[in-house]
Amino acid sequence: MKKSTVIILFLLFAGIASAHGLGMILEQPVGDYIISSGFNRFAVTTEDTVSFDFDLFDKDRNPQEFDGVAVEIVKDDNTYFSAMLKKPEFGRPTVDFRFPEPGTYKISENYIKNDKSAANGQLELKVENGSPWYKNNMLMPGAGGLVLGMLLAYFILKRR
């Protein structure tokens, strides 16, 4: 096996280990659908910018087509964010948001299909006050991916 292949494997494992999928997902059944919000944190604090993505599934967990999603983030009757996010050609609608204060926020989602509401619901997210750098740091899983990649490369080279 060429060294370049080993290096690519090494970097691939690091990339997979630090992927967005390591965060949390909030979901709620709504009629014939499940609304879903994924984000890139294990715990949300006021010190972090959170990347949210939005998706819609049927009850059997099959992805459903939609044109966009209206998103509103509210706490104590104060609206902190409100936008209509168009679904991109590839992937999911996403938004980055930094919560200004701790507390319980309500994330309202209204999925639009053919200019009509397909599903809407509300998810709750608890936001804590700031935390130590290591609590939500995505470098930790990334470092784990680097170690896995190094071990894999070592065993592949040793096998030769």
Helix (H, G, I), strand (E, B) or coil at 75: strand
Integer Cα distance of 76 and 99 in angstroms: 13
Give the type of residue at 50. Answer: V
**Distance (Å, whole) CA 82 – CA 44:** 19
List pLDDT tens digits, range 73-123.
Answer: 999 999 999 999 999 988 889 999 999 999 999 999 999 999 999 999 999
| Cα 3 to Cα 140: distance, rounded to the nearest angstrom | 26
Residue ranges per domain, the chain?
Answer: 1-18+138-160, 22-131
Q: Provide the mean pLDDT of the chain.
A: 82
CATH topology of domain 22-131: Immunoglobulin-like (2.60.40)
Whole-model pTM: value is: 0.67
Q: pLDDT value at position 93? A: 92
Max CA-CA distance within the chain?
A: 64
Which range is least confidently modeled, 36-50, 62-76, 126-140?
126-140
